[in-house]
Amino acid sequence: MKDVCVITGGGSGMGLATARLMGKDYSIIICGRSVKKLENAFDDLQAEGIDVEAFACDVSDYKSVENLAKYAKEKGRIAAVIHAAGMSPHMGNAKQIMEVNALGTVNINNAFFHVMEEGSCIIDVSSMSAYLTPKIIMPVNLYKYSVTNPELFMTKMMRRVNLFPGNVRAGVAYGISKHFDIWFAKQDAARFGKKGIRVVSVSPGNFETPMGELEKEEADAYTKHCAIKRFGHVDEIASLFAYCASPSAGYLTGVDILCDGGLVASGVNPLMKNNINKFKNLNHNET
């Protein structure tokens, strides 16, 4: 029996590319809010001879995630969980974004903590927006509530987001939620480490995905600042996920890996006068 790899957001983009790559060695469970939306991905992967199943899961609902974790455990040893599901500012309101991106990460880590074994790895996918969003708006002092009381954590996070004008809240929620994902993965490394499990976060830049396509017009303005002046290909990030999850990276934990073609390293400042309007459209998170 093959080890199991669970991929949230596995119906398209990075998640699907990762399922295709890791399906060579693992039994794959791709997850999304609706199995129907996963049908095309499921058919494509199965046609390639990959042992794959589709599972409906709303990552913002702990019970739904717990059901996923229990189901995956029944299928075999869970070697990897790649939590790639997420929402951009173009896909929902501030509350929905925070529930999926931030609370979803808490739910995934908490549920799979109980079913994963020594030698496995969980990868929480963040975003380069965690680095580009002005640090002054990050409510880092509130992140600690996620560990003890996720419901209170959400209340406090939304109270902070709602201090901003309505037209920028979705972007603010996105930037904060992705910054939180990095923090949560780092602090969770110690908890998982006691069981011999690794926790890593990865922060992609602009990639050729359906989500990236929604932001392409605005994101193009930033490509010129990258060291590699193009969008990333999904097989490139899939390879990074696969390596991080593999035994070859057995000493890698509690760290975020930024994979953005060198954009953040360029020192580009989203609050620069010539870029502020473009950045407003890209991340909606200027103050």
Read off the pLDDT of residues 98-156 as tens digits, 9 standing for 90 and up. Answer: 999 999 999 999 999 999 999 999 999 999 999 999 999 999 999 999 999 999 999 99
Give the list of residues 6+ apart from residue 103 with CB closer than 8 angstroms, or none.
Answer: 59, 60, 150, 153, 154
Which CATH number applies to 4-283?
A: 3.40.50.720
Residue 214: the pLDDT is: 55
Mean pLDDT, to the nearest integer, of 235-247? 97
Q: In terms of Cα–Cα distance, which of 156, 188, 164 is closest to 280?
A: 164
- Give the pTM: 0.90
Residue 211: the pLDDT is: 60
Question: Using 50, 70 and 90 to split pLDDT, how confident is the model at 218?
Answer: low
Read off the pLDDT of residues 174-191 as tens digits, 9 standing for 90 and up. Answer: 999 999 999 999 999 999
Read off the pLDDT of residues 259-281 as tens digits, 9 standing for 90 and up. Answer: 999 999 998 876 553 433 433 44
Residue 99: the pLDDT is: 98
Domain definitions of the chain by residue range? 4-283
Other Cβ atoms less than 10 A from the Cβ of 274: the count is 7
Position with higher pLDDT, 38 vs 284: 38
Q: How far apart are CA 127 and CA 140, in angstroms?
A: 17
Bridge partners of 5? 28, 80
